[in-house]
Structure 1
Amino acid sequence: MKLIISGVDGHFGGYVATHIEKLVKKENLILTAPFEEGLTLYKEKGYDCRVANFNHPETLKEAFKGGDALLLISAPFVGIKRRNAHKNAVDAAIEAGVSKIVYTSLVNAQDEDNPSIEKIDHAYTENYISNKDVNFVFLRNSQYAEAMITSYFASEATGYKMKSCQGDGHMSYISRRDCAKAAMYALAREDLYYATLNINGPESMTLQDFVDAGNNSTGLSVEIDNVTEEETYAAFDAMGVPRTTDGEFQQDSKAPYSSDGMVTFARAIRLEKMSTHTNVFEWLTGDKPRSVSYMFDHQEEYQVGQRHSTDD
């Protein structure tokens, strides 16, 4: 079985590409990125590399040709642009003969009462794929712990106070690396199909639990400043964070996401719409997911990093 990994120029796809060889042979991999420069490292190592830009469907069928299973990593922008990009990728993959699509979705994506704007695109993509003649695995990932760890340390600029509107809602924070690891295993397993899997961290936590873990590890005294959604938007505005992914993102931003996405995500957490907690990660990979405390103890390795946008 030949496996296609999309977005190998990004954090997620790059992790899969550099770790999956313990499960499959190099000659059974096709690595794609939206631009040639994102493939340079892999070309030098002799991988089968191809340009696949989801916004340009004319590039996709040839890029996916010869592949049996596709890891479709959700695009980093939000709204109709992302839905169209995902549709382009799905259509081209099926036309190219791909028989299985592994898609990185979001916890509780199909709940109509989930207010997160992020989940709209994920629900659309799940529905689009499930109505096609193709095997699928939907990985409904919890929130990346790296994003919150970065926010934790960014609170230095505000007197070690983290503004939040997510209240006492629960989230099973998980490392982005563990989400990528789960995707790697789901892609490589030939016996896994027509599955929807929740990929969660080892603990169901409130934000206070998360901050306490950080304080215990770092010795800092970060506090949560519980504010309204309007005040949260204002705080992001002051940081130069755009309201939507159509806005301009600052280089090396501590919040490489749109504030609409983050605030409505926080609302969903506050309403306990993101509180799903399972042990599926361990069942799928055979390993336990990294804990928040472990990630704080190794903080230099668990930052959110730069935004990798492919919306051109």
Structure 2
Amino acid sequence: MKFAITTASGNLGSTIIKHLKSVTDNSNIIGIARTPEKAAFLDVEIRKGDYNSKEQFLEALKGVDILILISGMDHPDKRIQQHRNVIEAAVENGVSKIVYTSIMGAEKGNGFSPVVASNRQTEEDIKQSGMQWAIGRNGIYLEPDVEYIETYIKEGGIINSAGEGKCGYTSRPELAAAYFNLAIKEEMNGRTVNLFGTAITQQELVEALNKAYNTNMTYTSIGVQEYTELRKKALGDFIGSVIGGIYEGIKSGVFSGDSHYEEVTGRPHKNIDELISLMK
């Protein structure tokens, strides 16, 4: 059985490939990358594939049985057609199953919503493709918070607009295990599942980081508009609005709820302390 994984050189794509290498022979894995040289470190077959080119994917997906499609990072109004290029090429190549890395969140109401809405359209395109499919909706990555720890310490803690809202965090290795299971388990066909750990507040996140790093940081909640403006000033309008929208979504509860992680993988999702420990 041949697996293909898009954006192979990216963080999630490469982590999924590393997981696949631990459970199947390298010859069964095809990585697809816009710039193949950047994925050479993975030591599997790498084929060229740019989401903007259906023609490249018609070539890249030859002989593939199961495709894991990593959601693109372009502007939401471009992603839908980019993903369609891949889906159509998969259909024309006779790919039997497609697994898509989607996202939790609200389709309307905050600055992250356009990203979520574009993912929902791709989910619908996949469901209408005629292939077998499985869709995962990822929780929020914990990695950025851990990678930002020095800044948090310097600033004395975490400041955002999430308030008392709870967020289901996850990590790339946890997601890699989940997407492998979504790919191989027939009982997951036709399922849309949420993938994250036990939802926690920002105060609980700070406490976990303090415990792991022996620090004394605090959490400060500020207004949604104030925080969004700070992010836009630091990161530009688009990314700033997206980040602001994520924390507005946390505040309103759209990143909590039921997780299907244990049903998918057969084990509980690692807790916040375990995730941080593995990232240190």
Q: Same fold (TM over 0.5)?
A: yes
Q: How does 1:1-312 map to 2 (within 5 A)?
A: 1-42=1-42, 45=43, 47-108=44-105, 116-117=112-113, 118-157=115-154, 159-201=155-197, 203-239=198-234, 241-244=235-238, 258-278=239-259, 280-300=260-280
Q: Distance in 2 between matches of 1:84 and 1:198?
A: 24
Q: For the Cα contact (< 8 Å) 1:218–1:296, is it kept in 2?
A: no
Q: For the Cα contact (< 8 Å) 1:3–1:67, is it kept in 2?
A: yes
Letter matched to residue 33 of structure 2: A
Q: For the Cα contact (< 8 Å) 2:229–2:240, is it kept in 1?
A: no
Q: Deviations over 1:231-278 (max 9, x none)?
A: 213332453x1222xxxxxxxxxxxxx121111111111111221232
Q: Distance in 2 between matches of 1:93 and 1:28?
A: 17
Q: Distance in 2 between matches of 1:277 and 1:97?
A: 34
Q: Distance in 1 between matches of 2:111 and 2:39?
A: 37
Q: Distance in 1 between matches of 2:209 and 2:182?
A: 31
Q: Distance in 2 between matches of 1:121 and 1:236?
A: 22
Give 1:64 shift: 0.4
Give 1:67 shift: 0.7
* Between 49-58 and 21-30, the greater mean CA deviation after superposition: 21-30
* SS state at 1:89 partner: helix
Q: Deviations over 1:126-167 (max 9, x none)?
A: 11111221111010111111123334442234x313221111
* SS state at 2:219 partner: strand
* SS state at 2:188 partner: coil
Structure 1 residues 36, 156: CA separation in 2 closer, same or farther (over 3 Å shift)? same
Q: Which consecutive aligned stretches of 4+ in structure 1 deviate over 6 angstroms post-superposition?
A: none
* SS state at 2:126 partner: helix
Q: Distance in 2 between matches of 1:138 and 1:74?
A: 11
Letter matched to residue 132 of structure 1: S
Q: For the Cα contact (< 8 Å) 2:20–2:29, is it kept in 1?
A: no
Q: For the Cα contact (< 8 Å) 2:170–2:196, is it kept in 1?
A: yes
CA RMSD of aligned residues (A): 2.1
Aligned residue-pair number: 279
* Between 181-190 and 136-145, the greater mean CA deviation after superposition: 181-190
TM-score calculated relative to the size of structure 2: 0.91
Task: Report the counterpart of residue 304 of structure 1 in structure 2.
Answer: none
* SS state at 2:102 partner: strand
Structure showing the higher helix proportion among its residues? 2
Letter matched to residue 83 of structure 1: I
Give 1:39 shift: 3.0
Structure 1 residues 277, 192: CA separation in 2 closer, same or farther (over 3 Å shift)? closer
Identical amino acids, percent of aligned pairs = 25
Letter matched to residue 75 of structure 2: V
Q: Which runs of 5+ in 2 are unaligned?
A: none
Give 1:103 shift: 0.3
TM-score calculated relative to the size of structure 1: 0.82
Give 1:17 shift: 1.1
Q: Distance in 2 between matches of 1:273 and 1:204?
A: 11
* SS state at 2:52 partner: coil
Structure 1 residues 269, 183: CA separation in 2 closer, same or farther (over 3 Å shift)? same
Structure 1 residues 230, 108: CA separation in 2 closer, same or farther (over 3 Å shift)? closer
